[in-house]
Amino acid sequence: MNQLHDSEAPLRLGIISYDHAHLKTEQLVHRLLFKSGLAGGRKLDLKLLALPFSSRPPRTVLVAHRPDQEKAVTTRELAHRHGLEFLTCTYDSIPDVSDYYVVAGAGIISPKGIGKKRIINVHPGIIPSARGLDAFKWSILDGVPLGVTLHFIDAEVDAGEIIAIVRTPIYLSDSLDTLARRHYELELEVHSEFLSFLDAKKRGACPVYPEKPPRMRMPIGVEREMIAKFDDYKQKFAGAS
């Protein structure tokens, strides 16, 4: 029987996050627990693997395109509340305890930490056109399609084997805030449905997009240029799929 549909044994799933409060981890765990509890849903044995957390200095931005990730419960409390195994780890040493792993929050995991594990990430941009940080903003500035990419991770940044690319719906009435909110929600939905996308991958190849180098955080001066281009961006991509 196909491993992804073998409902007799729970799929061991490691959720890689921080030993800290983290919103996306909280949201992803709730979605996965809900789906696992549905009649006919694949049963999941969830484990939380917690990396050390380092606070980042505050940044001034014109557009906050993601919610504050520290406004959440701690991953320790999350694991305790739902009876999940909680394991601390490092970027060089992630325990081999799961069939698949999903990255809810992490920096760059070393090749040693990855090893032969099947670690899945959702990047908030279309790879390889929007790699690196602030992919939402760079996509608008560069005039490339907006979407999220489900992919396996490897030693290169945002360059592992692609499982699926899902475009973010864009509407002419969107503000940057409404589009950023929808884009973030899509990231969560694609992440929580990774098993379905793994199955779908066998039935067809992903579209190919032009390659661009990884980007760093968008400087505030460039952010003003991005905002000025937003109306034209909507005209170009609203209704596109």
> If you average pLDDT over residues 54-59, what whole number do you get?
84
- pLDDT surpassing 70 at residue 6: no
- Measured between alpha carbons, how far is 42 from 59 in angstroms, rounded to an integer? 41
DSSP string, 46-105: EEEEEE---PPPP---S---S--TTSS-BHHHHHHHHT-EEEE-BTTB-----SEEEESS
| Per-residue pLDDT at 208 | 76
Q: What is the pTM of this model?
A: 0.91
| Per-residue pLDDT at 27 | 98
Is residue 88 a contact partner of residue 54, using CB atoms and an 8 Å limit? no
* 8 against 221, higher pLDDT: 221
pLDDT > 90: percent of the chain = 78
- Which of 12-16, 155-159, 168-172, 217-221 shows the lowest mean pLDDT across its residues? 155-159
185: helix, coil or strand? helix
| Per-residue pLDDT at 200 | 81
Amino acid making up residue 110: S
> If you average pLDDT over residues 179-187, what whole number do you get?
98
> If you average pLDDT over residues 190-205, what whole number do you get?
82
What is the tens place of the pLDDT at every residue in 63-119? 999 999 999 999 999 999 999 999 999 999 999 999 999 999 999 899 999 999 999
- Measured between alpha carbons, how far is 230 from 136 in angstroms, rounded to an integer? 12
What b/e string do you get for 92-130 counting C-beta neighbours within 10 Å, with b at 16 or more? eebeeebbbbbbbbbeebeeebbeebebbbbbbbbbbbb
- Measured between alpha carbons, how far is 229 from 223 in angstroms, rounded to an integer? 10
- pLDDT surpassing 60 at residue 204: no
- Measured between alpha carbons, how far is 117 from 136 in angstroms, rounded to an integer? 28
CA distances from 54 to 20, 21, 101 (A): 9, 12, 22
Peptide bond into 128 cis (omega under 30): yes
- pLDDT surpassing 50 at residue 1: no
Is residue 124 a contact partner of residue 205, using CB atoms and an 8 Å limit? no
- Measured between alpha carbons, how far is 97 from 148 in angstroms, rounded to an integer? 27
Sign of the Cα pseudo-torsion (117, 17, 200, 136, in order): negative
- Measured between alpha carbons, how far is 190 from 172 in angstroms, rounded to an integer? 24
What is the CA 188 to chain-centroid distance, rounded?
A: 7
Is residue 78 a contact partner of residue 26, using CB atoms and an 8 Å limit? yes
| Per-residue pLDDT at 59 | 87
What is the tens place of the pLDDT at every residue in 111-167? 999 999 999 999 999 999 999 999 999 999 999 999 999 999 986 655 678 999 999
